[in-house]
Structure 1
Amino acid sequence: MEATDLRDNFLGWQCRVRQIAMREDGGRPMPGMRPHLSLTSDGNFSDEITVLLVRRDPVRDASQFRHMVLKTQDPAARYESAVQFLSATYYQRPREFSDELTGLFQPSMLLARALLARGDCVLDFRQFSASYRLPCAVRRLG
C-alpha cells in the first residue's frame, strides 16, 4: 500500500471512530483514539495516550469553539455544545484533516521529555477489526 493510500485509509478510519465516539458515547475517547506508544524498535509499547486530529485549516473551528466558550459559563453546557458540533458533520470529510496528530502532555512528564529528545516514536492503533502501526516524527507545538 502506498503512503498516500495508508494516510487516506487511516484518516477515514479515525474520522469514523471519532464520529461514533461523539454520537454514541458522549465524546469519550474510544480505544482507536488512544494508541499505545513505543520509543524503541523492540516492540515494547507504553500505556495508551490520547491523540487529536486537526483540520488542515483550523481557523473556522477555533472561531466556533471560541463562540461556544463565550456563550455560557456553564462547563456542562460548553461540553454538550462541543459534542453536538463534533457529532454533526465535523468528521464527515477525512480529507479536510491533516496527517499530523496532536497529543497533550504535562511538560514535567518523563514521557514528554523522552519524546522530544528522541524525535520519533511508533503509535499502535487498534479498534474494531482495524489496526495501524505508524512511525511518527515528534515535535513541540508553539
Structure 2
Amino acid sequence: MSSVATQLGQSYSDHPLRKAFLRWQCRVRQMSMRDQDGRPDDAIMPAVLLPDQPEALGHIITVMNKAPGYSVTAELTHMAAKTNDPAQRRDAAIRFLSAGYFQNAVEFSDILTATFPPGSEGAKKIHDAGQCQLVFEAYAQTFDLTCKVWRLAPHNLLHQATMAHNRLFNPSIHPDTEVLGFEPDWGASSSDPAYS
C-alpha cells in the first residue's frame, strides 16, 4: 500500500498550515544546528498519540528531508564516507546543516520521517494504527498534525535520505533500521497560536 505522495516524497497541498509548519520547522532546526550542536529538542521530537489512546506513546525524533527535486542524499552519503572518525563526520554534518540547508522551506517534503530499531514494538504499534497525531510543542508554538503512517521501503527516496542523514550522527545505525513516514492531513491538523 502506498500513496503518490510517499512515492514522490511530498504532498502537493498548498494549505496555509503546511507552509507555516515547514517555515517553523526550518527555523527551529537551523537553531538546533547552530545553537545546540544538532541535539534534538521538543521542536523536533513530537509526542505520538495513537487513535483512541489517552496517553502519548512517547516522543520520536523526526527528520525533515528535502523534496526529491532538491535532494542532497548523495552529498550526505559522500560526507559520511569521507571519514571513519565519528566526531569529524558529526562536525561536517553540523557545518553543512547549519549553513544554508534550512534556508528555504519550499525545498522540503512535508512528509516527516523517523527511524526505529529493527523489530521495534513502537514502530509496529504506530504502523498498525495506520494514523497518529504528532504534537510539536516548543518556543510558545504548538502544531498538532494528524498523519497517515507509512512504512518506507529501502528504495523509497525518503527512506534513503533519512538513513543518509542519520548515518552522519550515528555511524553504527543498523542497516535494517525501520523508517516510518508521517504524511500530514493538513485540513485535519491545527496550530496554536493559529498560523498566519
TM-score, normalised with respect to structure 2: 0.68
- 2:48 paired with 1:37: yes
Q: Is the 8 A contact 2:64 2:113 kept in 1?
A: yes
Q: CA RMSD in A?
A: 1.7
- Gap change, CA 1:112 and 1:3, over 3 Å in 2: same
Structure with more of its chain in helix, by fraction: 1
Paired residue for 1:139? 150
Paired residue for 2:156? none
Residue 100 of structure 1 deviates from its aligned partner by: 0.1
- 2:64 paired with 1:53: yes
Letter paired with 2:22: L
Residue 59 of structure 1 deviates from its aligned partner by: 6.9
Paired residue for 1:109? 120
Residue 42 of structure 1 deviates from its aligned partner by: 5.0
1:113, 1:42 → 2: CA distance? 15
Q: Is the 8 A contact 2:127 2:149 kept in 1?
A: yes
Letter paired with 1:130: Q
Match of 2:85 among 50, 74, 96: 74
TM-score, normalised with respect to structure 1: 0.92
Residue 69 of structure 1 deviates from its aligned partner by: 1.8
Paired residue for 1:99? 110
Paired residue for 2:135? 124
Quick check: 37-46 or 120-129, which moved more? 37-46
Q: Is the 8 A contact 1:32 1:126 kept in 2?
A: yes
2:52, 2:125 → 1: CA distance? 15
Count of equivalent residues: 141
Structure 2: gaps of 5 or more residues:
1-12, 154-196
Quick check: 37-46 or 129-138, which moved more? 37-46
Regions of 4+ moved over 4 Å = none
Provide the secondary structure at the position in 2 that maps to 1:53. Answer: coil
- Gap change, CA 1:84 and 1:134, over 3 Å in 2: same
Paired residue for 1:16? 27
- Gap change, CA 1:60 and 1:47, over 3 Å in 2: closer
Letter paired with 2:133: V
1:107, 1:119 → 2: CA distance? 19
2:103, 2:72 → 1: CA distance? 14
